Structure 1
Amino acid sequence: MASSLTKDSSGIPGSEKTFFGHPRGLATLFMTEMWERFSFYGMRALLPLYLVSGGTAAAGGSQGGGLAMTAATATAIYSIYLAMVYLLAMPGGWFGDRVWGPRRTVAISASVIMLGHLTLALPGQGAFFAGLALVALGSGLLKANISTMVGHLYDGPDDPRRDGGFTVFYMGINLGAFAAPLVIGTVGQQVGWHLGFALAAVGMGLGLVQFLYGTRHLNPRSGLVPEPLTREERNRVLRRTVLVVLAAAVFYGVVVVAGLYTMNWALVPITVAGLLIPVAVLVRIKRDRELSDGEQSRMTGYIWFFAAAAVFWMIYDQGGSTLAIFAADKTDTSVFGWSFPASWFQSVNPVLIMALAPLLAWIWLYLARRAKEPSTVVKFAAGLALVGLSFFLFILPLSAAGGGKVGPLWLVGIYLLQTVGELCLSPVGLSVTTKMAPAKYASQMLGVWFLAVTAGDCVTGLLSLAGVDLNTTGVVALEAAVAALAGIGVYAYRGKVRTLMGRVH
């Protein structure tokens, strides 16, 4: 890969400015995604801490001004929020394909995200939930479309620069995720929560300016609508949308007038929908009679991967809720007499990814050259085993904390196991999704993969809404056992799953 910014992809100096040997538009998308992730992960690092601030679950000595919720309610809201981000990635891709085109969808979604962070910067519970909904909506709209535009920069799937381009783009994600808790987390925890949320809005604003300024470097295809809606389709979508909104308004209007409304009237239906929609999507694809026998077999095999991924994300995403609250309340946030905000723990995962991803990629390549690389099924089993092991490890500091605090290296060790598990499962999951997708649903299957995150987070949300305390040794041990048993099950049935996968490995 060329390191000069003034060499084009053909290697002829000076003919066209490039970004480390890649199309110059990659710099625009890299910076846009970096700032979007900066705003997203910064707000996410503050979210559970802000929710419990001032309440019984708050860490001793933390500032007030939060919403004084219990740890269970904070975990439920956090989990449902993440679930909605990934659930909305599917309609986000649909808007890019059918309504606005990827470029306009990203510009609109970035504006919505910035507005959401600005709304979060306002005091009051109403502003908080409105802002959270806007950030979830904008993030869902942006997620699929900005990746699509990265693909547009290259000459088809066989362009030798394509994989390297996505690797560079992925580094932008992790740079933003690493820096966000250090900057936004520090300001939010030590100066003011709402100032931290406002700083997230500034980050997204910088990303939006960068995107609008650099759009001239993007492929013209990114500005087109690949499959515009017909007039009949548009009218049908509008009618259905209006009917759903009216039905919801009438229903919740009756609930409010009757004096029955509580937060659970909103949270429970959203969580249940987040579980039912992934199941409905998989069933619809599986029952499609137009699929060939081979495609039907691969979809049956894919359901194993989907279920395994849902279990994985159920535990992994608690790194920002259950573990974050434990970090603030029960973990010593000082090293050699120097103290740091608890939100800084959220930078551990992205820095470990940047350090370990190249190493693991080299290991897979080394083993592949010797015909010893683990199969996709074995990598999935390893990912589940590692995330289960991380929660078995969590039992030790959880038991030892009692009324005191444990050392920060316990959490670093837990995040290390989860990160290695993520690197075993997540990239492989994206790859196997594209390989096993039926031709008819090729463009939709990445959205289906994201629904596994939705399903896993909704399970966590339902447990929290049911009053289950996720910070107890019994519950943590049960979750760890479920992940470990799922890993063992996937490994034990690896032969059957490989048969269902056909030629895909």
Structure 2
Amino acid sequence: MAQATAEKTFFGHPRPLFTLFLTEMWERFSYYGMRALLVLYMTKYLFIEAQNGRHIWGFETIQSMIVSMFGPMSTQALSSQVYGLYTGLVYFTPFIGGMIADRYWGQRRAVYVGGILMAIGHFLMAVESLFFPALMFLILGNGFFKPNISTQVGGLYPQGDKRRDGAYTLFYMGINLGAIFSPLVCGTLGQKVGWHWGFGAAGVGMIIGLLTYHFGGKNLPEVMNKKSIQEIEAKAHQPLTKSEWTRTWALTFLCLVTIFFWGVYEQQGNTLQLWADQSTDWNFFGFNIPSTWYQSFNPLVIVFFAPVLDRVWAWQSRRNQEPSTAMKMAIGCFLGTAALLIMYLAAKAVGGGQGSVLWLLGSTFMLTIGELYISPIGLSLVTKVAPAKIVSMMMGVWFLATFFGNYVAGWIGSYYEKMPKNEFFLFLAVLALVPGILFVLSHKGLNKSLGKDI
């Protein structure tokens, strides 16, 4: 990885960080704008049309495959399964995209390819019959884009630079600035004007992100993209040392333990969005707010509280009381459990009617703080401890865990209509508790394997 180019800084960080910050902000605008609409689009319109005879390329094949595995299901259950497969595969392909970047293309070329594929996918979403090909373009594009934009953040800092965790927290804020505005723009257009307007707006966001990356490219360090293929292959084929293997296996274990947390977390775009649409009163002073606006609350909390947690951790570090990475992740999982217990109480109180939005916002607040204890910390950890020759691939492993978690989210979501809502949310609370316990039990071994300063 490149060493830091710290002679020109902005708020104490290398200026190229803000090119990556803005690029990811627009890419996340496009992703979360599309995600805000996805389940509602399938349950309220597209799959109903398909079942009524409208031609949707690949629908019958996908439906037959899912039904053969899980049996007949409602439109909501089918939509949840497709949502889980899509959001899961979005986080599976970064494993492959990271390997290709490490061995052949370099990180910057991979970002360009991924961004172009995703832009095509977003615009194809505006064509109903091409819904599934559009999802495939988005899945493939994200595989190249996601791990390589994230890895470049770590490439701005030399090993041991204490600013790295803070850089990933700032980067994570960029992700969530885009996610704040996308449901407001894409969600409103999709629900109030037309589905295709919302998906088209997401495509425009992706184009802006690519242009930002291109014109800010002169400020970025040369990561690996100008090395010859022969040099990259030679480095990639060198065997890992015993110490590197130990770090790799420990990092892989830590990534995989997060699967259950992501299975709970991703309900925000799935069953919690359905709760927001069906069981929450959104009438404010006579104005009926689109339910997709709910998905702006999670990133809003992140933008406000990520700097607060960064300060808290810095204060703890000065007092030698900062939790290790594994213990931070345990705290995040326990907060996720608390979040779903709030929804358990909400379901008991609301029953079959509509309740206050405060239930949903309180739960999402707890889940979001839990996320801050897991996601940016994990991204930073990968670039700290992964062997340099496989750092993009290991970033893909981090996202691979999210793939399994997202698929779990879709599978669990298919029971939303089958179970009493309070039992459904209680099951999710238990699911978030399991990885927290595993992190507590394994944190000493992980600290020894990954290094005392993680």
Q: TM-score range by the shorter chain?
A: 0.7 to 0.9
Equivalences for residues 213-252 of structure 1 within 5 A: 213-219=215-221, 221-222=222-223, 224-226=225-227, 228=229
1:98 aligns with one of 99, 103, 123 = 103
| CA distance in structure 1 between the aligned counterparts of 2:250 and 2:101, rounded to whole angstroms | 29
Corresponding residue for residue 192 of structure 2: 190
| CA distance in structure 2 between the aligned counterparts of 1:388 and 1:379, rounded to whole angstroms | 15
Query: Structure 1 pair 377/76, CA: closer, same or farther in 2 (3 Å)?
Result: same
Q: Is 1:323 matched with 2:272?
A: yes
**Which amino acid in 2 is paired with 1:208?**
L
Corresponding residue for residue 138 of structure 1: 141
Query: Structure 1 pair 350/437, CA: closer, same or farther in 2 (3 Å)?
Result: same
CA drift at 1:341:
0.7
Query: Structure 1 pair 34/357, CA: closer, same or farther in 2 (3 Å)?
Result: same
| CA distance in structure 2 between the aligned counterparts of 1:129 and 1:88, rounded to whole angstroms | 16
**Which amino acid in 1 is paired with 2:299?**
P
Q: Is 1:453 matched with 2:454?
A: no
Corresponding residue for residue 181 of structure 1: 183
Q: Is 1:383 matched with 2:332?
A: yes
| CA distance in structure 1 between the aligned counterparts of 2:451 and 2:214, rounded to whole angstroms | 45
CA drift at 1:81:
1.2
Aligned residues of 1:470 and 1:476 also touching (Cα < 8 A): no
Query: Structure 1 pair 95/491, CA: closer, same or farther in 2 (3 Å)?
Result: closer
Query: Structure 1 pair 504/334, CA: closer, same or farther in 2 (3 Å)?
Result: same
Corresponding residue for residue 444 of structure 1: 393
| CA distance in structure 2 between the aligned counterparts of 1:28 and 1:303, rounded to whole angstroms | 29
Query: Structure 1 pair 358/464, CA: closer, same or farther in 2 (3 Å)?
Result: closer
Query: Structure 1 pair 397/36, CA: closer, same or farther in 2 (3 Å)?
Result: same
CA drift at 1:396:
2.1
CA drift at 1:400:
3.3
1:372 aligns with one of 321, 333, 345 = 321
CA drift at 1:379:
1.9
Q: What TM-score, normalized by structure 1, do the two folds share?
A: 0.74
Cα deviations by residue, 1:308-330 (Å, 9 ceiling, x for unpaired): 31111010011111101111111
CA drift at 1:49:
0.9
Aligned residues of 1:107 and 1:208 also touching (Cα < 8 A): yes
Q: Is 1:33 matched with 2:24?
A: yes
Equivalences for residues 39-54 of structure 1 within 5 A: 39-54=30-45
Q: Is 1:123 matched with 2:128?
A: yes
Aligned residues of 1:99 and 1:225 also touching (Cα < 8 A): no
Structure with bigger gyration radius: 1
**Which amino acid in 2 is paired with 1:323?**
L
Corresponding residue for residue 392 of structure 1: 341
SS at match of 2:349: helix
Cα deviations by residue, 1:416-453 (Å, 9 ceiling, x for unpaired): 11111111122333344445546764453222121111
Q: Is 1:417 matched with 2:366?
A: yes
Equivalences for residues 149-164 of structure 1 within 5 A: 149-152=152-155, 154=156, 156-157=158-159
Query: Structure 1 pair 46/162, CA: closer, same or farther in 2 (3 Å)?
Result: same
Aligned residues of 1:57 and 1:69 also touching (Cα < 8 A): no
- Alignment size in residue pairs: 426
| CA distance in structure 1 between the aligned counterparts of 2:216 and 2:380, rounded to whole angstroms | 29
Aligned residues of 1:100 and 1:225 also touching (Cα < 8 A): no
| CA distance in structure 1 between the aligned counterparts of 2:37 and 2:413, rounded to whole angstroms | 19
Query: Structure 1 pair 204/94, CA: closer, same or farther in 2 (3 Å)?
Result: same
Q: Is 1:89 matched with 2:79?
A: no
Query: Structure 1 pair 204/471, CA: closer, same or farther in 2 (3 Å)?
Result: farther
| CA distance in structure 1 between the aligned counterparts of 2:95 and 2:337, rounded to whole angstroms | 29
Aligned residues of 1:73 and 1:465 also touching (Cα < 8 A): yes
Aligned residues of 1:382 and 1:421 also touching (Cα < 8 A): yes
RMSD across aligned positions (CA):
3.5
Equivalences for residues 315-354 of structure 1 within 5 A: 315-354=264-303
Cα deviations by residue, 1:328-385 (Å, 9 ceiling, x for unpaired): 1111112333321111111111110111111112112222222322333322221111
Equivalences for residues 293-304 of structure 1 within 5 A: 301-302=250-251, 304=253
| CA distance in structure 2 between the aligned counterparts of 1:222 and 1:441, rounded to whole angstroms | 13
Taking every aligned residue pair, what percent have the same amino acid on both sides?
Answer: 40
Query: Structure 1 pair 140/433, CA: closer, same or farther in 2 (3 Å)?
Result: same
Aligned residues of 1:436 and 1:504 also touching (Cα < 8 A): no
Cα deviations by residue, 1:168-194 (Å, 9 ceiling, x for unpaired): 433321111111001111001110001
Aligned residues of 1:377 and 1:490 also touching (Cα < 8 A): yes
Query: Structure 1 pair 156/485, CA: closer, same or farther in 2 (3 Å)?
Result: closer
**Which amino acid in 2 is paired with 1:32?**
T
2:214 aligns with one of 193, 200, 212 = 212
Corresponding residue for residue 63 of structure 2: none
Cα deviations by residue, 1:233-274 (Å, 9 ceiling, x for unpaired): 9xxxxxxxxxxxxxxxxxxxxxxxxxxxxxxxxxxxxxxxxx
| CA distance in structure 2 between the aligned counterparts of 1:450 and 1:498, rounded to whole angstroms | 21
Aligned residues of 1:308 and 1:384 also touching (Cα < 8 A): no
SS at match of 1:88: helix
Select between 318-327 and 451-460 the one with higher mean Cα deviation: 451-460
SS at match of 1:121: coil
**Which amino acid in 2 is paired with 1:140?**
G
CA drift at 1:148:
3.6
Corresponding residue for residue 406 of structure 1: 355
Aligned residues of 1:464 and 1:470 also touching (Cα < 8 A): no
Aligned residues of 2:173 and 2:302 also touching (Cα < 8 A): no
Aligned residues of 2:256 and 2:401 also touching (Cα < 8 A): yes
Corresponding residue for residue 172 of structure 1: 174
CA drift at 1:139:
1.6
CA drift at 1:413:
0.7
Cα deviations by residue, 1:387-411 (Å, 9 ceiling, x for unpaired): 1121121112223333321111111
